[in-house]
Structure formats: structure tokens, C-alpha cells
Amino acid sequence: MSRPRIVIVGAGFAGYRTARTLSRLTRHQADITLLNPTDYFLYLPLLPQVAAGILEPRRVSVSLSGTLPHVRLVLGEADGIDLDGRTVHYTGPEGEEGTLPYDRLVLAAGSVNKLLPIPGVAEHAHGFRGLPEALYLRDHVTRQVELAAAADDRAECAARCTFVVVGAGYTGTEVAAHGAMYTDAQVRKHPMRTGMRPRWMLLDVAPRVMPEMDERLSATAERVLRQRGVEVRMGTSVKEATHDGVVLTDGSTVDTRTLVWCVGVRPDPLVESLGLPMERGRLLVDPHLQVPGRPELFACGDAAAVPDPNQPGQYTPMTAQHAWRHGKVCAHNVVASLGRGQRKVYRHRDMGFVVDLGGAKAAANPFGLPMSGPAAGAVTRGYHLAAMPGNRVRVAADWLLDAVLPRQAVQLGLVRSWSVPLESSSPEVARVPGRPERTGTDTGSDLGKDPGQSGAEPDGEPAKTPPSEPAKNRPSGEPAKNQPGGEPAKNQPGGEPARNQPHAEPAKRGPSGSPRASGRPRRAVEAAGPRPARGGSGKPGKASRASGTGSVGKRPTAPSGPSRSARPPADPGPEPPANQPPPGPDIAPGPVKRTDGRAVEGDS
């Protein structure tokens, strides 16, 4: 008798815990496959410290192959699921396609960015859900402060050193708190010519900071923010975003080059393509995390609507704490479905919350005991060390070094603004030239909710399909000039293709016969530089935090328009052979000419 095949889609908090528990319970008696776009599990709660320069990126990235023995890792993103044929179709990071047969399937696809129908947000804002976005924000903030320090014009200096964060949930609050400390440290070492200082703003339509927490903890967090100079504006949001700034709902205008979107999340669109009962975009499951009528299908994490035993008629919120517990119960029930052990009902006890506000400041209520100040800071860091599945010594070492040494405020230039679009179903994977990008957006109304923490629900109209080229006048949206690789492809971030450039063919449909999960049409993709586009189907190659770091959904594209060159094209030379290998991810996009006459700094 052959061993049962178990496939897990997504390696966020839920997917990672499921795989780790299954590896222990099955005792080599099952083939476990984990499908994820990255080879690491991202410990998302510490991501603000990466953006603030406290932790290095690899500290919050736990190797999947190194910590999951007897689990086969497949790099790729799920394109479609054939429930009757029991197969998962996926696209690999280099465009290759594959199919994974299964006897048991666990959907832990996580969640994606939630967008609101606010003009200019998709073009001018950046999210905060993956390592690429954190690295970009760190570089961008560093660059803006350096440019502001060198500016003679007070208006330009004020705009560059103004940073607006939308969403006062856990993530937005921590980003603002750590960001204010980071920029203040920069200015102390290199004062600005105009005598100005960085200005941070935290906006939310909610009546108070972190409305999910106890009012005393919310008041503690707001007090710390105001002591650091952060402008906390409750009951206020963004009405319109432009290159030069934002228009707020109270009618005021703020000149800024930085808009950080920490509003909320929605379940990965992959689950929408299954045609099964849903609850506000989440797949309905029973208390055993099993899909009714599908004994081989399980779901957990942000993608699943799991009944909350403590609140009858309600579902567990989309938080990392719940996703981590879902994974353990799901693994036990998968094994029980194979004839080992008894099924378990998902139950939980609220252990409280911790919010790191930087330095020795934090707000926490472990087991319902409200705490603040250094004691809360010690509890918060102790909790994170205990919860991390790896890298504990390295994280503790970085915290120690940060306490005794000044932070290094340098631009690494690894992530460009166009490679981390807000409208993306894969924020954990940076966009690269020559490869299309799937999108997963939402226009729900929960402006004050925090990604993966607040239980933001989808509603409203879908957002418009994102523009394929960088928006004009976007802050830092223009690639640096004189980059190698020639003119970038049209419908790719960074510009338009050179003339006579070959076009890639439309992508194929998944095994279920339907287009990608979001239900939008694909678009043909042209290659960046003088080399041809990817051969064959031109498949794309994302990222979600855990309560969504393993988000794996569909990536739609749209037909490309006629090719135009921003400058006289070079002779393309002879036609390349049909089986020419696709351009690698190391090819950078070429320069793009601006049409508005405005000079902005190059995007690092």
C-alpha cells in the first residue's frame, strides 16, 4: 500500500505549524509536500524592527528545509486546484509549471493586502507585509532624510521628512513608533540645514489607537507615540494620494513623499476559485478545520473561517496567534483522517497581546494583566523569543548590539519601489523584470484594521486593475538612469520595451479550466532588455504574512498594448532562437523618461 500524500499550500504561521506537527505525527508514514513561494517562514511580528534597522532580514526568516525534517519543499505559487482530480497546479519561481497530486490537502494560503477605493493610493502607497517591503521602506526613509538634510528649500525639506502611516492597528502603530526613533537618530548625527526635524503621522478612522486592545493599553501606546513626536490623528484618513502629498478626510493637505499602508487584509483569492461556501472571503470549515462535504480538504489560518467556541456564531479573527494554533489542530485532524488518533475540536484561550514600541517601551497584557514601560518591553521580547521557531540566539544578539552600538543608516539599494507594488497577492516576493505579477486587491471599508491582526473583512467593490507602469510623479518611482539591461518591458514596472521586442504568449489556464484565482484575465508579458520574453506561457513567478506569509493565490495579467520606445531604439539584431532561455532576475530595468518635467530622485 502506497503512503498517503499530504500537500500543504502556504508556509505562514498556520501552514508552517501544520507541516512541523505532521512531520512529527506521521513518523515517516506519509509523503508531506509544502508549496510556498519562498524557502523561509517569516516571523512577521518583528518585521517593523527590520525596517528600523534593529534586526537583519535573515533573523526573522526561518529556513523551511532546515527546520522541517521529512517535509518536501516545492517553491511555487498555487494557480488552481482540481478538487475532483485531487491535484494542485502551481507555477515555479522561474515560470515552470507543475502539478502536485494529493490524498489530503491543507489550504493555509494566508491573506493579501486590502485596498480601499481611494484615488492615488495604489500608485503612491506601499504596504508592509513582507521582507521586500520592509527593506524598501528602510531604504526609502533613509534616503528621504538624507535628501531633506541636503535640501536648501524648506518646503522640499518638510515634504521629504514627513512620513504618513495609515492604519493604527498593531503593525501601523509599531511602524510609526520604530520609524520615529530611527529618523530621530539620523537627524541627531546629521542635522538638517533648515533646522527642521522628521515628522511622523499616524492616521485611522477608529476612535483610538489599536481599538482591539484594552483601553489602558491603547492609551499607553498613544502616550508613547506622542512623546516621540508622532502626530496621532484618530477619526481621520486619506481622501486622495498624489506624488506631492495626501489630502485628508478633514480637508487638510500634507506634503509628503512617503505613504505607508497598514490598513488591513483579506483572504488570499485562491480560495475564491474553489466554488465552495465562503464567509466574507474565507473558506467555511467545521470546528475540526475540515471543509464540509470534502473529507480530504482542510483549511486553516487567514484563509479559513473557523468557528470561535468562545463566541458562538462568530469566527476566529485573522491573527498570527490563532493561525499558529490552527496549524497544530489541523495536523492532528489530518492524521486522524488517515486512521490514526482522534479528531480534535479547535479551542483556544486568549493569552493576551504584546506591542513593541521600540527601545524599552511596549504595551502588553499577558493573560489579561495590563503592563507598560520596561516591564512590558521585557515581556514582549521574551514572548517573541519563545514564539519564534528558530534564530532565537541571533535575534537576541541583534537586540544586544542595538542596545550598545549606534544603528547603521545606509541605503542598500536592493529593492526598488516598482518591485513592491501595493496591489499584489505576493508581497513576500519582490517583482522582477521580465515576469508578470499577480494581483490580489480589495476595496473593503475597514480602514483602521491591521493586517493579519485585526480581523479585517472584505467588502465593497474590487479595486481597479493596477497600472503596469510606475505611476507618474510617484515618490521615488523612477528607476535610476543608466542602469544596464536596456529598456524595460511594457506592463512591467520601470517603463516600456524597445521596439521590435518579442512578446510572450498568454499564460495557460489551470487544470480546473478557470483563470487565476482573482478571476481577472492574464496579460501577455514582454521581456526587459534586448533578450526575448520567457518562452512558452510566460508564467509569472509573490508573498503573505503568516497569519499570512504563505499567501498563494492567482496572478492575473492583462493584454499588453502596442510597444513604444521612450528613446530611439538600438538595432535589435538578428531574431533570437525559439528556445532562447528567459532573462534572469538579475536584469535591471533601463531608464524611463519622465513626461511631466518633474525631477525626482532615482529609486534605489
DSSP E strand boundaries for 18-153: 31-36, 40-42, 61-63, 71-75, 77-82, 87-91, 97-101, 104-107, 111-113
Do residues 100 and 90 lie in contact, with contact meaning Cβ atoms separated by under 8 Å? Answer: yes
Residue 178 reports pLDDT greater than 80: yes
pLDDT bracket for residue 137 (50, 70, 90) = very high
Percent of the chain scoring above 90 in pLDDT: 50
pLDDT bracket for residue 532 (50, 70, 90) = very low
pLDDT number for residue 193: 77
Residue 460 reports pLDDT greater than 60: no
Name the DSSP class of 599.
Answer: -
pLDDT number for residue 164: 97
Amino acid letter, 88: V
Radius of gyration, CA atoms only, the chain: 23
Query: Of the spans 160-164, 315-319, 446-450, 496-500, which averages the highest pLDDT?
Result: 160-164
Residue 27 reports pLDDT greater than 70: yes
**CA nearest neighbour of 508 among 75, 79, 76:** 79
The mean per-residue pLDDT over the stretch 80-103 comes to: 94
Q: E strand or H helix at 163, and its extent?
A: strand 162-166
Query: pLDDT tens, 538-548?
Result: 333 333 333 33
Residue 25 reports pLDDT greater than 70: yes
Residue 482 reports pLDDT greater than 70: no
Please state, rounded to an integer, the average pLDDT across all residues of the chain: 77
Q: How far, in Å, CA of 194 to CA of 116, rounded?
A: 36
Widest distance between CA atoms in the chain: 77
Residue 573 reports pLDDT greater than 80: no
pLDDT number for residue 458: 34
Residue 311 reports pLDDT greater than 80: yes
- What helix, strand, coil percent values describe the chain, rounded to 5? 25, 20, 55
The mean per-residue pLDDT over the stretch 313-319 comes to: 91
Residue 583 reports pLDDT greater than 70: no
Q: How far, in Å, CA of 451 to CA of 126, rounded?
A: 13
Do residues 354 and 376 lie in contact, with contact meaning Cβ atoms separated by under 8 Å? Answer: yes
Residue 393 half-sphere exposure toward CB, CA atoms < 13 A: 0
pLDDT bracket for residue 425 (50, 70, 90) = low
Q: How far, in Å, CA of 530 to CA of 532, rounded?
A: 7
Do residues 471 and 477 lie in contact, with contact meaning Cβ atoms separated by under 8 Å? Answer: yes
Residue 412 reports pLDDT greater than 50: yes
Residue 492, CA distances (Å) to 38, 260, 528 in order: 22, 22, 8
Strand pairing class (104-107; 297-299)? parallel
Residue 62, CA distances (Å) to 46, 237, 538, 558 in order: 12, 36, 31, 35
Q: How far, in Å, CA of 40 to CA of 66, rounded?
A: 9
